[in-house]
Amino acid sequence: MAAGAGCSLALACDIRIASEHAKFIEVFVNVGLVPDSASTWTLPRLVGLGRAMELCMTGRPVKADEAFAIGMVNQVVPAGELESATAAVAERLASLPGKAISLTKRLLNESFERTLSEQLEAEAYAQETAGHTTDHFEGVTAFLQKRTPTFTGQ
């Protein structure tokens, strides 16, 4: 059970993998409080404003399958596979070009505050930045050589 601030912490993650037995609850209203720890920012972005209103105002628990269906989590796995599933995603992310991942995260997070024109400008700047990395050179070289790239975060 991820309840209250625990739910908020889970929602703040970039990628969320849940056990089939997981439950999430914005429990604050049940004790006369308001959601905190950034739930009022993350939850509407994940599930939409209407669903976020419902979950925060009713304080009802959300089971793993519903959490997946509404976008609260990215994946649901059997309880016995949770550790290996999260490790696999972490290993995959660690093998990718860190600067490109960082720039992508920034672009996505800031996209809510920008106009389309501003976003296109930010993308162009980020693309130019990523294009000057050693990882970009490695990615293109590996593609041309038909091999898996070995990124170093440079």
CB atoms within 10 A of CB 139: 18
Residue 21 lies in a domain: yes
Same domain, 108 and 124: yes
Residue 73 lies in a domain: yes
64-73, pLDDT tens digit by residue? 999 999 999 9
Two structure tokens written together for 75 = 């994946």
pLDDT bucket at 142, cuts 50 / 70 / 90: very high
Same domain, 83 and 120: no
Same domain, 14 and 68: yes
- Whole-number pLDDT of residue 85: 98
Domain boundary among 63, 91, 119: 91
What are the residue ranges of helices labelled H in the chain? 5-11, 39-47, 49-58, 64-70, 82-94, 98-110, 116-131, 134-144
Average pLDDT over residues 53-67: 97
Question: How many independent structural domains does the chain possess?
Answer: 2
Two structure tokens written together for 90 = 């972490």
pLDDT bucket at 128, cuts 50 / 70 / 90: very high
Q: Identify the residue whose tokens are 């290996």.
A: 84
Whole-prediction pTM: 0.85
- Whole-number pLDDT of residue 58: 97
Same domain, 121 and 108: yes
What is the domain range of residue 38?
2-91
- Whole-number pLDDT of residue 32: 95
71-88, pLDDT tens digit by residue? 999 999 999 999 999 999
pLDDT bucket at 119, cuts 50 / 70 / 90: very high
- Whole-number pLDDT of residue 131: 95
Same domain, 63 and 15: yes
Domain boundary among 61, 76, 91: 91
CATH code of the domain containing 83: 3.90.226.10
Same domain, 15 and 77: yes
Which residues does 118 contact at the CB level (< 8 Å), separation at least 6?
A: none
Q: Calculate what percentage of the chain has a pLDDT beyond 70.
A: 100
Domain boundary among 51, 68, 91: 91
Same domain, 15 and 37: yes
Q: Calculate what percentage of the chain has a pLDDT beyond 90.
A: 99
Which residues does 11 contact at the CB level (< 8 Å), separation at least 6?
A: 24, 38, 39, 42, 43, 46, 72
